[in-house]
Amino acid sequence: MNHHPGAIQEECMAKMEMNRQEEYLNRIDRLKLMDDDLFSEALDGKVEAVEFILQVVLERDDLKVIETKAQVEYKSATKRSIRLDIKAVDRENERFNLEIQRAEEGSGSKRARFHGSMIDRDLLEKGMDFDDLPESYVIFITEDDKYGCGEPLYHIERKIEENDDALFEDGLHILYVNGEYRNVDTPVGRLMHDFHCTKSEDMYSKVLADEVKYLKETEGGRGRMCRILEEMCEEVEKETAERVAKETARSLLALGKFSYEDISSYGVEGLIDAVEKFTPKMGARFETYALVRIRGNIIDKIRSQDFLPRSVRRKIKDVKEAQEELKKQFGRAATNTEIANFLGIEKEKVEQLLSDDTTITSIYDKKGSSDGDLEIIDTIQDSHSLAPHEELEEKDVKKELENALKRLPERERTIMVLYYHENMTLKEIGEAINVSESRISQLHAQAIMKLKNLLSENRSERLKRSII
């Protein structure tokens, strides 16, 4: 099934438009200035609003902003690119970078250093002296208390240790604003209160409230925000769909049974299906829903090409395990009669199961014709492999289980590992950690229940994170 990328995009846009508008409007209602989507748009070109914020955090009533712009991008073909939330200039030619950082990893000290260097990059013309560099300020407004001291502001300056910690005076000033600070008796506390308001009428600052009100409560502002969110969602959806398809494709290509083109086609079909069936009432973002449909369609298509029922595949797996075990015992390939006796089934049943496994005639067949050629079993990564769609599903389950195991208490985690990974009995585990067998049994049962709850919780948390 072939689809032209342009046609797919047009189809997606046409089918999603009505439903997505509702989704966007609901999201806009929940936005606050601590969300960089609203922050950047509310302050883009808004000199008075940016000036107010800078006056508060820098404690400078005399500061006058003459220019400000949002989403200023510094691109490089070979080096790391960066996009600044807000860039501003005051009447003294000082430069300011305002950043909203809700994630801890986005507010690191070296990121602040990099932002400062980007601001400096285009400030000196050819022939100008370095002393002509203006003062520059990198200001991170963080959702959490970055340094955990309860202070409203954290000022970062370089100092000369051997000169009584005198300031280095390189002109770069880094400032962290504590988003958790809400003492409304202080200017910074009132500002951070405003940054966390979803309604303009709850805000202290009129200049900020006016910008928020326009974007969230007027027809023109809401339409503008909808277009911005739509562009962002399209980009995320495209990137996400491509990533999921590629990850799934790599897993399947490793099995050597499907082409990249086939897998990509299955993924596109899943995307189109998601577009047709998605509604905002589902409570999840489109991209989250689409991921499930894309991956599900790929697996379904693969399953449809696997003509063997699951029960038959399991029995084939048992035969292969018996072949391997008997080869270890005998030092040679076992006969079908020996396999049948080992499994307690008829010889004819073994032969039938081997013939049903259409991937190979025998796992002990030679890949070539010479004596030195490897047997097929020696080239198989997992001799107990499931069907391709089962492998994908099993990988997902294993990953979730590993994450859940890490959250168990140490003793219960140890019991689970010893029992299931090391194949120790409950009695042997009890002896190993000096606990009675009955107590080990109790702890094992507790661990099972906790794992079930954790796995359910993990799925619930993923859904919550996907809801905006």
Which tens digits make up the pLDDT trace of 46-96?
A: 999 999 999 999 999 999 999 999 998 888 777 888 889 999 999 999 999
CA atoms of 224 and 280, how far apart (whole Å): 20
- Please report which confidence band the pLDDT of residue 2 belongs to, taking 50, 70 and 90 as the band edges: very low
Task: Give dist(CA 417, CA 401) in Å, integer.
Answer: 12
Selected residue with higher pLDDT from 424 and 71: 71
Please give the pLDDT value at position 360: 36
Least confident of 11-15, 189-193, 414-418, 433-437: 11-15
- Distance, CA of 34 to CA of 412 (rounded, Å): 41
345-388: pLDDT as tens digits: 888 888 877 766 544 333 334 433 344 444 433 433 333 444 44
The stretch 162-184 carries a mean pLDDT of: 94
Residue 226: the pLDDT is 86
The encoded tokens of residue 118 equal: 């980007």
Neighbours of 252 (CB within 10 A): 23
* Over residues 1-20, mean pLDDT: 52
Beta bridge partners of 366: 375
Q: How far is CA 25 from CA 166, 228, 232, 274, in A?
A: 52, 12, 14, 21
Supply the DSSP string of 26-73, one letter for each residue. HHHHH--TTSHHHHHHHHTT-HHHHHHHHHHHHT-TT--EEEEEEEEE
Residue closest to 343 by CA, chosen among 314, 322, 320: 322
Which amino acid appears at position 399 of this protein? K
Token pair of 228, please?
A: 């911005």
Confidence tier at 108 by pLDDT (50, 70, 90): confident
Q: What is the mean pLDDT of residues 116-120?
A: 89
Residue that has been written with the tokens 């340094």 in this structure: 147
Residue 33 and residue 42 in contact, taking contact as beta carbons nearer than 8 Å: yes
Q: How confident is the model at residue 1, as a pLDDT?
A: 45
Q: Which helix (H) or strand (E) segment is 402 a member of?
A: helix 388-406
Paired sense of beta strands 65-74 and 82-90, if any: antiparallel
Q: Given the structure tokens 């929940």, which residue do they identify? A: 30
Rounded Cα distance between 82 and 114, Å, is 9
Whole-Å CA distances, 433 to 412, 427, 440, 441 = 11, 10, 9, 13
Long-range residue pairs from 391-394, CB within 8 A, at least 24 positions apart, any chain: 391/251, 391/255, 392/248, 392/251, 392/252, 392/295, 392/299, 392/302, 393/299
The DSSP 8-state label assigned to residue 382 in this structure reads: -
Q: Which of 60-69, 390-399, 412-421 has the highest mean pLDDT?
A: 60-69
According to DSSP, residue 150 is labeled -
Average pLDDT, the chain: 77
**pLDDT over 90 at 287, yes or no:** no
Among the ranges given (255-269, 328-342, 437-451), the one the predictor scored with the smallest mean pLDDT: 255-269
More confident residue, 16 or 467: 16
Find the mean pLDDT for residues 399-413: 78
Distance separating alpha carbons of residues 346 and 348, to the nearest angstrom: 5
End-to-end alpha carbon distance in the chain = 34
Please report, rounded to a whole number, the percentage of residues in the chain having pLDDT higher than 90.
32
> When comparing pLDDT for 328 and 218, which is higher?
218
With beta carbons less than 8 A apart as the criterion, state whether 67 and 88 touch: yes
Which domains does the chain show, CATH number per domain? 5-26+223-304 (1.10.1740.10), 32-197 (no CATH), 310-379 (1.20.140.160), 389-466 (1.20.140.160)
More confident residue, 295 or 341: 341
Q: How confident is the model at residue 115 (pLDDT cuts 50, 70, 90)?
A: very high
Decide which of 457 and 87 is more confident: 87
Rounded-to-integer distance, Cα 1 and Cα 85, Å: 42
What the block records as the tokens of 29 is 């209602």
Q: Identity (one letter) of the amino acid at 78? A: T
Does 106 or 118 have the greater pLDDT score? Answer: 118
Q: Give the model confidence (pLDDT) of 234-257 as tens digits.
A: 666 666 666 665 666 666 565 555
What is the band of 281 on the pLDDT scale with cuts at 50, 70, 90? low
- Split at pLDDT 50, 70, 90, the class of 298 is confident
For residue 43, the model assigns a pLDDT of 95
Residues in contact with 122: Cβ distance below 8 Å, sequence separation at least 6, in sequence order: none
Give the 3-state secondary structure percentages of the chain, helix then strand then coil, rounded to 5: 60, 10, 30
3-class DSSP assignment, residue 164? coil
Query: Residue 136 pLDDT > 60, yes or no?
Result: yes
Residue type, position 27, single letter: R
Cβ 190 vs Cβ 219: under 8 Å: no
The pLDDT value given to residue 260: 60
Q: Is 103 exposed, middle or buried (0-12, 13-18, 19+ CB in 10 A)?
A: exposed
Rg (CA), the chain: 31
Q: Please, which pLDDT band fits residue 323 given cuts at 50, 70 and 90?
A: confident
Q: Which of 141-150, 157-166, 234-243, 347-356 has the lowest mean pLDDT?
A: 234-243
Q: Answer whether residue 162 shows pLDDT above 80.
A: yes
| pLDDT, average across residues 171-192 | 95
**CA pseudo-torsion sign 88, 92, 93, 95:** negative
Cα(396)–Cα(143) distance, integer angstroms: 32
Mean pLDDT of 1-12: 49
